[in-house]
């Protein structure tokens, strides 16, 4: 009679121990730590830190040079930067708020599941107690003196022992469930407190942003005539383009040095990419081409792989009317080195392809400027943004929102200035993107 009872005890013990040992408090398996991957992450962080340090030095040099040449649009610089910073913080807080709300929903669902489990366990316990009540608590000696069948008596005692064992197990499970519910309740309260704090920060940033926008509007009203006059000055546009070219050249050298260091490591090298665009770049003094009719872009970028392989199928960063075509004459002298896409303020600017942010700051003539490295010496450039939502070193996917449309840098129209460059030279974006 002892063997079935022993087997029942071992089975019950195994079943009771299983949930505890197989799951973490979050009901998820605990990941193993890989020493090799940890080393790789540390190496990548070191490379990223070096990149950020070098680009920060480049940014400071750029700012120092800007200070030497006063421009009416420079009075808007700090306002443009503050608006961009506040917008980025609001964007991050919104993401954090969404994550907290999703976590609270998950905790609520887990709590409901535990409530169902607890009700089931309590129901089972009630049934066991009722069965035990019907059987009573017989005394072995009394049963023997009553002359009951010894075999029946053994079966009854075994049955009652099994009921007692199961009852003890259920009591343990109920206590564990109650502890889990208590832990979930505390976790939910903590997340709710965090959510309230995030919402308070959002309200504060909204108020600061509104104040900053009013200040910028007032400044622009004071200097708008001077800004517009300077934009039309002969050579002013060329100076802005020259600063852009110098920035791109220095960025390209930094990226080339980093790529060379990476290539020196034992990693497979990608096949060389032939540049087919450089011969078509605009040349200073080239006759102005007739102004093309504006076309409308109704598509948005999507995640993609190798940048070069997507030539001809890329989507432009923002929806809107495409004007200021590459190579056409530009007011103030020179020709367009990219595109200007008219779009409403606040519209989402999306990365045209996978890459990494290598510049995110204000620059004279281009306002809040974002530059993305796509590898193989290809860069995409996004200017005149209202806000920059990504920072230097961040990896991004094609179709990911990286900025919002605006008219920073003293631009009179709301829209996005967009360029593609290869080895520092501008190429026609319309040869890479499709409007169909």
pTM, to two decimals: 0.62
Divide the 436 residues of the chain into consecutive groups of 10 and give the mean pLDDT of each group: 37 35 42 50 60 67 55 74 87 86 83 80 72 59 55 60 69 79 82 84 85 82 69 66 87 85 68 47 44 70 82 92 85 82 94 94 90 94 94 92 91 91 93 87
On whether the 236-265+278-436 domain is CATH 3.40.50.261, my answer is: no
What's the burial of 221, exposed, middle or buried (CB within 10 Å: 0-12/13-18/19+)?
Answer: exposed
* Spatial contact of 338 and 419, defined as CB atoms under 8 Å apart: yes
* Spatial contact of 188 and 196, defined as CB atoms under 8 Å apart: no
Per-residue model confidence (pLDDT) at position 51: 65
Per-residue model confidence (pLDDT) at position 91: 87
- How many C-beta atoms surround the C-beta of residue 68 within 10 A? 6
Main-chain phi, psi angles of 363, to 5 degrees: -145, 135
Per-residue model confidence (pLDDT) at position 98: 86
Domain boundaries, the chain: 1-23+73-231, 236-265+278-436
CA distances to 16, 138, 161 from 165, rounded to whole Å, are: 12, 17, 6
User: In this structure, which long-range contacts are made by residues 320-325, counting pairs with CB atoms below 8 Å and at least 24 apart in sequence?
Assistant: 320/296, 320/344, 320/347, 320/405, 320/415, 320/416, 321/294, 321/295, 321/296, 321/297, 322/294, 322/295, 322/296, 322/297, 322/430, 322/435, 323/294, 325/291, 325/292, 325/430
Per-residue model confidence (pLDDT) at position 278: 42
Query: Over the Cα atoms of the chain, what is R_g?
Result: 34
Q: Please, what CATH class does the domain formed by 1-23+73-231 belong to? A: mainly alpha
Q: How far apart are CA 379 and CA 249, in angstroms?
A: 11
Cα 300 off chain centre by: 18
* Spatial contact of 255 and 373, defined as CB atoms under 8 Å apart: yes
Q: How far apart are CA 99 and CA 93, in angstroms?
A: 10
Beta bridge partners of 370: 360, 382
Per-residue model confidence (pLDDT) at position 150: 61
């Amino acid at each position: 009679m002892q063997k079935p009872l022993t087997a029942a005890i071992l089975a019950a013990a195994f079943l009771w121990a299983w949930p505890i040992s197989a799951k973490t408090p979050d009901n998820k398996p605990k990941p193993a730590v890989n020493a090799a991957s940890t080393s790789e992450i540390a190496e990548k962080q070191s490379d990223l830190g070096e990149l950020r340090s070098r680009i920060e030095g480049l940014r400071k040099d750029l700012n120092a040079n800007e200070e030497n040449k006063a421009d009416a649009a420079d009075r808007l610089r700090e306002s443009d930067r503050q608006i961009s910073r506040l917008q980025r913080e609001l964007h991050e807080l919104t993401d954090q708020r969404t994550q907290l709300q999703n976590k609270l929903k998950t905790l609520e669902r887990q709590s409901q599941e535990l409530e169902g489990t607890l009700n089931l366990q309590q129901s089972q316990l009630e049934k066991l107690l009722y069965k035990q009540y019907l059987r009573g608590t017989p005394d072995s000696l009394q049963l023997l003196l009553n002359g009951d069948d010894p075999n029946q008596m053994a079966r009854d005692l075994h049955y009652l022992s099994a009921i007692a064992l199961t009852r003890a197990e259920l009591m343990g499970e109920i206590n564990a469930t109650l502890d889990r519910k208590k832990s979930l309740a505390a976790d939910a309260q903590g997340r709710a407190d965090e959510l309230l704090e995030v919402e308070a920060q959002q309200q504060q940033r909204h108020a600061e942003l509104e104040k900053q926008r009013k200040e910028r509007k007032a400044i622009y009203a004071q200097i708008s005539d001077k800004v517009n006059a300077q934009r039309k000055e002969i050579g002013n546009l060329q100076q802005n383009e020259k600063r852009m070219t110098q920035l791109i050249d220095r960025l390209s050298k930094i990226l080339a040095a980093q790529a060379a260091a990476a290539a020196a490591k034992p990693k497979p090298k990608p096949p060389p990419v032939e540049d087919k665009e450089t011969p078509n770049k605009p040349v200073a003094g080239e006759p102005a081409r007739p102004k093309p009719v504006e076309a409308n872009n109704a598509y948005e970028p999507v995640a993609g792989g190798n940048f070069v392989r997507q030539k001809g199928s890329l989507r432009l960063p923002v929806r809107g009317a495409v004007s200021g075509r590459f190579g056409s004459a530009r007011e103030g002298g020179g020709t367009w080195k990219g595109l200007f896409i008219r779009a409403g303020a606040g519209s989402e600017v999306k990365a045209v392809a996978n890459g990494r942010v290598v510049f995110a700051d204000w620059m004279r003539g281009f306002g809040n400027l974002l530059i993305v490295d796509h590898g193989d010496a290809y860069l995409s450039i996004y200017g005149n943004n209202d806000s920059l939502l990504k920072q230097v070193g961040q990896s991004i996917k094609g179709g990911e929102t990286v900025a919002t449309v605006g008219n920073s840098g003293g631009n009179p129209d709301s829209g996005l200035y967009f360029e593609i460059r290869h080895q520092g030279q501008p190429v026609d974006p319309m040869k890479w993107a499709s409007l169909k």
